[in-house]
Structure 1
Amino acid sequence: MNQELFFEQVWDLTREIPKGRVTSYGAIAKAIGAPNLSRMVARAIGACGSAQPPVPYYRVISSNGLLSGDPSSTNKRQQLLEREGIEVENLKVQNLKKVFWDPLNDLE
């Protein structure tokens, strides 16, 4: 698969994550049919800065609930999540089971 197309698929699915919910890199990888490419999903999320429409990158976290990525951006990600009502403590999403969005269960 072409990297540009892969990134677009990741961004499109990330835009579907409901406000106040999070998902994981691995869940996105599975949903787009590339279950072994969660690191590539992380790369796509890291490259979404100028994508239009904007990608709510901060809603994608590690499967263990941790905010990952560049340490300089984790504070901003935490603020954005908390603005949506998601509780984050020590860079970890609280009540993960409650706020986790599984794209495979929620796709049409």
Structure 2
Amino acid sequence: MKGIGVDIVDLERLDIHNLHFVKRVLSSREYEIFTRIQSSRRQLEFLGGRFAGKEAYMKACHVGIGAMSFQDIEILNDESGAPYLHDPHAHISISHEKKYAVAFVLIEK
């Protein structure tokens, strides 16, 4: 399967204080990273980037929302800080600008 996906998130729509929502979006390892971030602004960007990245990944996989759990998709960072997906065939880029986070995913197979 090959695919591309993109998603944009309005960060102002996310509530980093709603732990049920945050834990629904983030895997346990992502949540651990989230809790270590000191700045609430940076937490918001982290959550928004993961949300957009997971939605973009689902689009690249040609599945609708609900076909995969956000918990089944994990986005971590390598030693240089670049994000990566748990799928070795997928490439991801995440950007933030003021009140938005955007993610682009490319799957090669």
Fold conserved between structures, TM > 0.5: no
**Structure with greater helix share of residues:** 1
Q: Which has the higher contact order (CA 8 A, sep 6+)?
A: 2
TM-score with structure 1 setting the length = 0.25
**Structure with greater strand share of residues:** 2
TM-score with structure 2 setting the length = 0.25
